[in-house]
Amino acid sequence: MLPKMLTLLPAFLSYFAVAVALLAVFFLVYVNVTPYDEMALIRQGNTAAAVSLSGALFGFAMPVANVIAHSDTLADLAAWGAIAGVIQILTYLVARFALPHMTQDIPAGKVAPATFLAGLSLTVGLTNAACMTY
Residue pLDDT, tens place only, 101-112: 999 999 999 999
Does any domain span residue 33? no
pLDDT digits (tens, 9 = 90+) for 52-61: 999 999 999 9
Handedness of CA 89, 93, 94, 96 (dihedral sign): positive
Does any domain span residue 91? yes
Does any domain span residue 29? no
Domain residues for the domain of 61 are 49-134
pLDDT digits (tens, 9 = 90+) for 41-89: 999 999 999 999 999 999 999 999 999 999 889 999 999 999 999 999 9
- Give the number of domains in the chain: 1
CB 57 within 8 A of CB 28: no
The pTM of the full predicted model, rounded to 2 decimals, is: 0.93
Of the candidates 113, 58, 121, the residue with the CA atom closest to the CA atom of residue 89: 121
Does any domain span residue 89? yes
What are phi and psi for residue 96, nearest 5 degrees? -65, -35
Answer whether residue 1 shows pLDDT above 90.
no
